[in-house]
């Protein structure tokens, strides 16, 4: 008898789902009609896959280090990112600032709008019905499930990303990071901190310059 | 790095209907349930809030979804709602808020 394929490796054959079939059909039609080429589709996918939360973390680290940049970032997120030299096509960014009295968290209840240009592809939980439906009506319970407890006397602001803007949370710079370089600061700014389901922790920083 | 061409809807200078509301204005989301592709969540329809900022004017999503150009564009606002007014059983601080982007044609003065 031959070896069975390990689960998740070769996988089982499954027919395409409705939406997969629609995607393949639409893509093939667009190529056939000369609207797009396969190479352009692949280039767009590669561009998306190459993006990760590092760009967002660099923006946060700069805002922590440069008060004038932070002011410009809160006024017009897109312009500040462009000034910072980031390639963020089509991004219209609203940056919301956490303070000792205010915590912000981002969701898109209608689909899964996400600042991909700065954070890369969204995590699966961000797209889940569970997160999308619950974080708007019981945000404190959802954040507690992420291990984040928001003090009773803090204001919690949920941002539902329903239309053309995309959102990034500017976390509070943690104590104990005085004198750190921007690179070292960026290392403690995780994807989840910029969605607002976590806050940066110094003990995760490791050693650095 | 391959460049992805900017699409026309990413322009920001669309001809728009006049702006009706300013930050601080109290507005109510229309309580209506048309069919189609709509970017106004069900849970906020009928609720009143305060304009937090004007985001600019953008082509109308209901029209874009029908392959039309969505012009004239509609002003888009961020509107702030008090959570305890949105969810009667809300558990959390009385200052907790939810902020949502809503197009002008979905808003009336409150």
> Residue A2: is its pLDDT beyond 60?
no
Tell me if chain B has a CB within 8 Å of the CB of A92: yes
CB under 8 A, 24+ apart: contacts of A24-33: none
Whether A25 is catalytic:
no
Q: How confident is the model over A76-93, as a mean pLDDT?
A: 88
Hey, of A159, A161, A166, A169, which one would you mutate to test binding to chain B, going by the most B CBs within 10 A of its CB?
A159
d(CA A160, CA A123): 17
Structural fold of domain A52-204: Nitrile Hydratase; Chain A (3.90.330)
**pLDDT value at A209 more than 70:** no
3 state DSSP class of A39: helix
Annotation: CATH topology of B8-109? SH3 type barrels. (2.30.30)
Q: Where are the domains of chain B?
A: 8-109
Write out pLDDT tens, residues B23-45. 999 999 999 999 989 999 999 99
ipTM of the complex: 0.91
> Using CB atoms within 10 A of its CB, is residue B106 exposed (0-12), middle (13-18) or buried (19+)?
buried
Which pLDDT score is estimated for B6? 44
What pLDDT sits at residue A203? 78
Helix (H, G, I), strand (E, B) or coil at A141: helix
Q: Compute φ and ψ for A134, nearest 5 degrees.
A: -90, -30
- DSSP letter for A142, please: H
pTM of the model: 0.88
Locate the DSSP E strands across A1-115. Answer: 93-97, 102-107
Distances from the Cα of A188 to the Cαs of A66, A77, A85, A182, B30, in angstroms? 17, 21, 21, 10, 43
Helical (H) or strand (E) element with A29: helix A18-32
* Cβ-based contacts under 8 A for chains A and B: 93
Across the interface, of B2, B76, B87, the residue whose CB is closest to A43 is: B2
Indicate the pairing of strand A155-160 with strand B107-109: unpaired
| Residue spans per domain, chain A | 18-49, 52-204
Q: What is the pLDDT of residues A117-176, one digit of tens each?
A: 999 999 999 999 999 999 999 999 999 999 999 999 999 999 999 988 999 999 999 999
Question: Across the interface, which of B1, B39, B92 has its CB nearest the CB of A162?
Answer: B39
Q: How far is A62 from A182, CA to CA, in rounded Å?
A: 6
Q: Which residue, B81, B75, B9, B93, is CA-closest to B41? A: B81
**In this predicted structure, what is the pLDDT of residue B11?**
62
């Amino acid at each position: 008898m031959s070896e069975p394929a390990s689960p998740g490796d070769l996988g089982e054959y499954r027919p395409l789902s409705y939406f997969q079939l629609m995607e393949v059909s639409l893509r093939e039609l667009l190529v056939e009609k000369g609207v797009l080429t396969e190479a352009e589709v692949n280039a767009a996918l590669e561009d998306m896959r190459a993006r990760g939360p590092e760009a967002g973390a660099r923006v946060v680290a700069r805002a922590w280090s440069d008060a004038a940049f932070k002011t410009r970032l809160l006024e017009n997120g897109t312009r500040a990112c462009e000034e910072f030299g980031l390639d963020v096509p089509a991004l219209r960014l609203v940056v919301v600032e956490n303070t000792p009295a205010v915590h912000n968290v981002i969701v898109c209840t209608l689909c899964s709008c996400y600042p991909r240009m700065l954070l890369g592809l969204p995590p699966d939980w961000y797209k889940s019905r569970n997160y999308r439906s619950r974080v708007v009506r019981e945000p404190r319970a959802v954040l507690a499930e992420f291990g984040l407890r928001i003090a009773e006397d803090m204001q919690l602001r949920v941002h539902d990303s329903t239309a053309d803007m995309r959102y990034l949370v500017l976390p509070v710079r943690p104590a104990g990071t005085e004198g750190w370089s921007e690179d070292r600061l960026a290392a403690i700014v995780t994807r989840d901190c910029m969605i607002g389901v976590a806050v940066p922790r110094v003990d995760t920083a490791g050693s650095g310059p | 790095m391959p460049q992805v061409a900017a699409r026309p809807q990413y322009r920001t200078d669309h001809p728009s209907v006049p702006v009706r509301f300013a930050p601080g204005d109290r507005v109510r989301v229309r309580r209506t349930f048309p069919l189609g592709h709509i970017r106004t969540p069900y849970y906020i329809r009928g609720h009143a809030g305060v304009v937090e900022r004007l985001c600019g004017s953008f082509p109308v999503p209901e029209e874009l979804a029908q392959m039309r150009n969505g012009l004239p564009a509609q002003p888009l606002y961020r509107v702030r709602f008090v959570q305890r007014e949105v969810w009667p059983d809300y558990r959390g601080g009385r200052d907790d808020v939810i902020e949502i982007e809503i197009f002008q044609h979905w808003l009336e003065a409150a």
